[in-house]
């Protein structure tokens, strides 16, 4: 078995037992990137020189007997909305195409402190606005399982890199499903932590009350390993939760006897394909075979989550993206004699793609005088009702099991002319963000050779329980061992 086929945990053991050096591991992953990247297009920026320099430094520290950390020598792909000091951070947008961040995001600092090696910056939907990674200003990313299909979005580059074995670990961000949905499409494990568990310092914001950074991996153990590194309090993020962290790896006991698994009927409603429902229900049956108990629950207001999200998220985007004015940093377009309004208009027209402009306009309208009460204020009230539905459900169960996405990955271009159909790809994931809850997606089946995702949702700050349930299911099945062959064009 080659090094690129090993999990991150296995790679750390290779290094610990002196079977491989950090440099050997990095070189093999860089060779893999050279082999497949032209077809997959997972990265905006690959960092071969930086990665090799870092690997050599870690090898020297190992030779002197130093501990290089729990992720020492493991390559990581970082979504290109996380600031990396001295390196381009583009958000896959012309607006920030040449922006070089002057500081590292908190999670990037944590990766470095624990010995990980950033191997590249992953492609994404521009400013994380999209569900297919077709909205990148540079190029679409392709699904390694079928190069004619999307990898999902907006963290499509991160998940494609992991699925194509270009990196064993990746960081993504999840505002309405942007880690979990592409993880389902690419047959990976993707996790959205509780809002506030992972610092957003250095994350270029889309919707600040919804954004959360999380891991993308090929198995649940690696997800727990990466979460352990990035979670924890950071005083620079005022929403960061200050409480002791559990040992997430110790939660992977394999024992789920007595676990109550809630099955919300609304998540299996119209729009979810029958083959997805069947695969997820078989996964729930497997959990019951392992000792869990299935409990049907109802969450009626989740029906309104999609509409609510597309008022709240664009409203926050409208506010966050106002900073891109052609004055402070980023792109500027102007001609001699232009006043500030002309310069601003030309800059934004050139810098923002269609989807970003569309969402800014929606948000600006929802926040405008005369419409704030009719739209934004009401959406926030519905958000409260959605959260209460989850609270009631967790009075009856320990985790919730649902589909991650209503279909398998769709063909490139299939939904670009139908914005509503595109947005429906996140119908099962958006309610979780509205409530700030943790959730994980993992493979639970195949349809026409394409992966299907099982979503396990936990109560606030109960990542340990969903990791335990996901790991137990994973160990009892073979789906996580399936790999993309990169054969179809």
The answer to whether 153 and 124 have CB atoms below 8 angstroms apart is yes
CA-to-CA distance for 228 and 329, rounded, in angstroms? Answer: 34
Catalytic site residue from 79, 192, 415, 423: 79
Residue 414 Cα distances to 50, 132, 358, angstroms:
38, 10, 19
Does residue 298 carry a catalytic annotation?
A: no
The side-by-side arrangement of strands in the sheet containing 213-217 is 43-46, 117-122, 75-79, 169-173, 213-217, 189-192, 439-447, 450-458, 399-403, 260-264, 293-297
From the list 132, 154, 315, 464, the catalytic residue is 154
Per annotation, catalytic residue among 132, 178, 199, 464: 178
Peptide bond into 168 cis (omega under 30): no
Q: For residue 60, indicate whether it is catalytic.
A: no
CA–CA gap between residue 429 and residue 403 (Å, rounded):
9
Alpha carbons 313 and 328: distance in angstroms, whole number: 24
Contact (CB, 8 A) for 183 and 189: yes
Q: Is the dihedral of CA 124, 128, 131, 134 positive or negative?
A: negative
Residue 40 has what DSSP assignment?
A: H
* Residue 314, CA atoms < 13 Å, CB-side half-sphere: 25
Side-chain half-sphere of 60: how many Cα atoms within 13 Å? 6
The answer to whether 132 is a known catalytic residue is no
Q: Provide the angle, in degrees to the nearest 10, between the axes of the packed helices 463-475 and 220-230.
A: 160
**Closest listed residue to residue 188, CA positions, set 421, 437, 438, 405:** 405
Which residues does the annotation mark as catalytic?
79, 154, 178
């Amino acid at each position: 078995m080659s090094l690129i086929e090993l999990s991150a945990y296995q790679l750390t053991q290779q290094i610990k037992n002196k079977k491989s050096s950090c440099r050997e591991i990095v070189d093999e992953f860089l060779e893999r990137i050279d082999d497949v990247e032209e077809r997959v297009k997972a990265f905006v920026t690959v960092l071969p020189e930086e990665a090799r320099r870092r690997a050599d430094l870690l090898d020297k520290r190992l030779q002197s007997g130093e501990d290089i950390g729990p992720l020492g020598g493991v390559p990581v792909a970082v979504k290109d909305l996380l600031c990396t000091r001295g390196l381009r951070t583009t958000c896959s947008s012309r607006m920030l195409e040449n922006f070089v961040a002057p500081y590292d995001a908190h999670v990037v600092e944590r990766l470095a402190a624990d010995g990980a090696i950033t191997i590249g910056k992953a492609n994404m939907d521009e400013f994380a606005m999209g569900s297919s990674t077709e909205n990148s200003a540079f190029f679409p990313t392709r699904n390694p399982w079928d190069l004619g299909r999307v990898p999902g979005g907006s963290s499509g580059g991160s998940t494609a890199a992991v699925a194509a074995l270009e990196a064993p670990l990746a960081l993504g961000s999840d505002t309405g499903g942007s880690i979990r949905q592409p993880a389902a499409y690419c047959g990976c494990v993707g996790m959205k932590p509780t809002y506030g568990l992972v610092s957003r310092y250095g994350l270029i914001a889309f919707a600040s009350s919804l954004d959360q950074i999380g891991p993308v991996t090929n198995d649940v153990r690696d997800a727990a390993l990466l979460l352990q590194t990035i979670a924890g309090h950071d005083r620079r993020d005022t929403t960061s939760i200050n409480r002791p962290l559990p040992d997430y790896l110790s939660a992977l006991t394999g024992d789920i006897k007595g676990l109550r698994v809630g099955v919300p009927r609304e998540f299996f409603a119209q729009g979810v394909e029958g083959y997805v429902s069947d695969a997820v229900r078989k996964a729930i049956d497997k959990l019951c075979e392992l000792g869990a108990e299935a409990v049907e629950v109802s969450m009626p207001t989740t029906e309104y989550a999609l509409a609510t999200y597309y008022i709240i998220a664009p409203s926050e985007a409208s506010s966050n993206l106002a900073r891109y004015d052609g004055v402070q940093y980023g792109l500027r377009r102007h001609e001699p004699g232009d006043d500030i309004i002309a310069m601003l208009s030309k800059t934004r027209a050139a810098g923002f793609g269609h989807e970003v402009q569309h969402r800014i306009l929606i948000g600006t309208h929802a926040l405008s005088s005369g419409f704030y009460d009719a739209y934004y204020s009401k959406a926030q009230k519905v958000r409260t009702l959605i959260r209460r539905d989850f609270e009631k459900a967790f009075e009856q169960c320990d985790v919730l099991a649902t589909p991650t996405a209503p279909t398998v990955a769709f063909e490139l271009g299939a939904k670009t002319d139908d914005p509503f159909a595109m947005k429906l790809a996140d119908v099962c994931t958006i309610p979780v963000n509205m409530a700030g809850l943790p959730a994980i997606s993992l493979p639970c089946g195949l349809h026409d050779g394409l992966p299907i995702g099982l979503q396990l949702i936990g109560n606030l700050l109960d990542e340990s329980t969903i990791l335990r349930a996901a790991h137990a299911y994973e160990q009892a099945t073979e789906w996580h061992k399936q790999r993309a062959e990169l054969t179809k064009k």
